[in-house]
Structure 1
Amino acid sequence: MQNLAKYIVIITLLMCQACSKSSEAFLEKGRTFMQEGNFKEAVRYFNWAVEKDAQSYAAFNARGAAYFSLKDYDNALLDFNQSIKLNDKDYKAFMNRGNVRRETNDLKGALADYTQALPLNNNVPDLYLNRGVVNAQLQNYDAALKDFNEVIKRNKQNKNAYYNRGNILYTQKKFKEAIADFRTAVQLDARFAKALYALGMAELLADKKEDACMHLKQAANLNHPQADGKVIEYCK
């Protein structure tokens, strides 16, 4: 009976705490849990933030981000839709909804969201990067190259922009240019297994077998799933 009484007191205190805090306070606490990687607890606090203020587009966007991190894409999409409905001038919900659509293979929807987000804030390199990836998946290669070029123009340390641009150049059989981009990506991150593998494959096609085998072996040592097979096929 005493334990039950303590349990009731604890629950009551938690309920009182939820009643006393503002939506913004719950939002900030949820963001702290997001930074710690505790996404389920973040959702709980964002729920309270929404209950306190159902007009808070930031709370819906934050909860959508937590759901996205939990791979709960259906609920994430609902929250980003609501955030946009409440405020269609904030780029973040469009970008986040684009990420959901990309993960669920709605590539045209993702492309539309990234494109709509850019006029709202064109100083976010990841928007260009994400749109470039989707353009590449849709085989809009010229548009993808423009996006990756824009990322590199703004941030010459972005390894993913070089890697993705290199992939397009590789597809276009521009192996010399592709090799240059893959090399830059590897220089920026020596443990970038995908870039090492791509570099090795491009070097094979450019008749640079010695360099190719060195890079394929490095990719294999970093557990790239296809590298071992290529080493056996070309480097033994």
Structure 2
Amino acid sequence: MRILSTICLSLLLLACSSDADSWLQEAKSRLQKGETVSAKEAIKKALEKNPGLAEAYNLQGVIAFQEKSWVEARTNYQKAIELKPSLYTAQLNLGALEMEQGQWKAALAPTEAAVKLQPDSSAAYLQRGIVHAALGKSDAAVADFTQSISKNAKEINALYNRGNIYFQQEKYALANQDFESCVQIDPSFSKGFYAMGLSYYKVNEKEKACFALQQAQKLKYPGAKEAVENLCN
């Protein structure tokens, strides 16, 4: 009889878990459609079925982040991590929240946890690179951006940020390579053209500099018009 009861209980728990996962998927679907209110209701249903569903708290945090409810977002991300420390998205999201708040030192630990959990994630290395750059650790930032690019050759933000560091270090040839890669990947990437223009100007390649700045101007990048007038006329 005890064995039968245990089996029945196990089946019940599996059924509840399945129901909770279904509600969680429904919440994700509704959120993708921009239906925030109904997404929240679906998350509530998921947590009623399974109060220990870390992914539901993480998604609740995502919604709070979108609504700029920072305290609520942090509470939900931390709850998700408490329930499931191996949840990569919650670690990455908590890091992003701290970054949004300008808490760069606090952002480092969860972002590093995300890197360890998903060592093949381009996004995790990109995020840690941005944190390192903000903390003044340029070499570590370059290493992370390089890793991000190695995982995804079209990671335009890693290329742009690495190019910016090279520019600050007066390594203009390397900076130009990264900025050129940016605009090849996305010809509408206006700040890439602007940065490339300034970088080429630094090495007295005025023709290339002005072409890039004019492209930035066409794309209406702030400051590009003035740069063309000051540097190219």
The TM-score bracket by the shorter chain reads 0.7 to 0.9
TM-score when scaled to structure 2? 0.88
Q: Percent identity?
A: 34
> Which residue does 1:160 correspond to in 2?
157
Q: Shift in Å at residue 53 of structure 1?
A: 2.2
Alignment match, 1:41 = 38
Deviation at 1:116, TM superposition (A): 1.6
Structure 1 vs Structure 2 CA RMSD: 1.5
State the TM-score, normalized to the length of structure 1. Answer: 0.87
Q: Which amino acid aligns with 2:145?
A: F
In the TM superposition, what is the alpha-carbon distance from 1:232 to its structure 2 partner?
1.9
Tell me the equivalent position of 1:149: 146
Task: Say how many residue pairs are matched.
Answer: 216
Inter-partner Cα distance in structure 1 for 2:118 and 2:173: 34
Cα pair 2:122 2:155 within 8 Å, conserved: no
Report the more deviating stretch, 35-44 or 85-94.
35-44
Q: Is 1:58 matched up with 2:55?
A: yes
> In the superposition, relative to structure 1, how do residues 212 and 149 fare at CA in structure 2: closer, same or farther (>3 Å)?
same
| CA distance in 2 between partners of 1:223 and 1:103 (Å) | 26
Check if 1:131 corresponds to 2:116.
no
Taking the aligned partners of 1:124 and 1:40, their CA distance within structure 2 comes to 31
**Secondary structure of 1:212's aligned partner:** helix
- CA–CA separation in structure 2 for the residues paired with 1:95 and 1:134: 12
The one-letter code matched in structure 2 to 1:24 is D
CA contact (8 A) 1:162 1:181 kept: yes
Distance in 2 of aligned mates of 1:114 and 1:157: 21
Which sits farther off after the overlay, 47-56 or 155-164? 47-56
For 1:38 and 1:223, locate their aligned partners in 2 and report how far apart those are by CA, in whole Å: 33
Q: Which residue of 2 aligns with 1:4?
A: none
Structure 2: state its 5+ residue gaps: 1-17
Question: For the Cα contact (< 8 Å) 1:220–1:228, is it kept in 2?
Answer: yes
* CA positional deviation for 1:106: 0.8
Correspondences of 1:187-198 after superposition (within 5 Å): 187-198=184-195
**SS, match of residue 83 in structure 1:** helix
Give 1:193 shift: 0.8
By how many angstroms is 1:112 displaced? 1.4
Greater alpha carbon shift after TM alignment, 132-141 vs 165-174: 132-141
Q: 2:208 aligns with which of 207, 211, 214?
A: 211
8 Å contact from structure 2 (residues 129, 141) kept in 1: yes
Match of 1:232 among 225, 229, 232: 229
Letter in 1 for 2:199: A
Instruction: Please list the CA deviations of residues 124-179 of structure 1 after superposition, one character each: whole Å capped at 9, or x if unmatched.
Output: 11000011011111111000011011112122122222111100100101011101
Structure 2 counterpart of 1:220, one-letter code? Q
Which amino acid is 1:99 matched to? A
Cα deviation 1:55-109 (Å, max 9, x = unaligned) = 1111101111122223322211110010011111222211110011111111111
Residues 196 and 215, structure 1, Cα contact 8 Å, conserved in 2: yes
Task: Select between 87-96 and 163-172 the one with higher mean Cα deviation.
Answer: 87-96
Instruction: Note the residue ranges of structure 1 that are not aligned, 5 or more in a row.
Output: 1-20
Identify the residue that residue 107 of structure 1 maps to in structure 2: 104
Equivalence map 1:178-193=2 (5 Å): 178-193=175-190
> Which one-letter code corresponds to 1:85 in the other structure?
E
Q: In structure 2, what is the equivalent of residue 22 of structure 1?
A: 19
Equivalent pair of 1:39/1:67 in contact (CA under 8 Å) = no
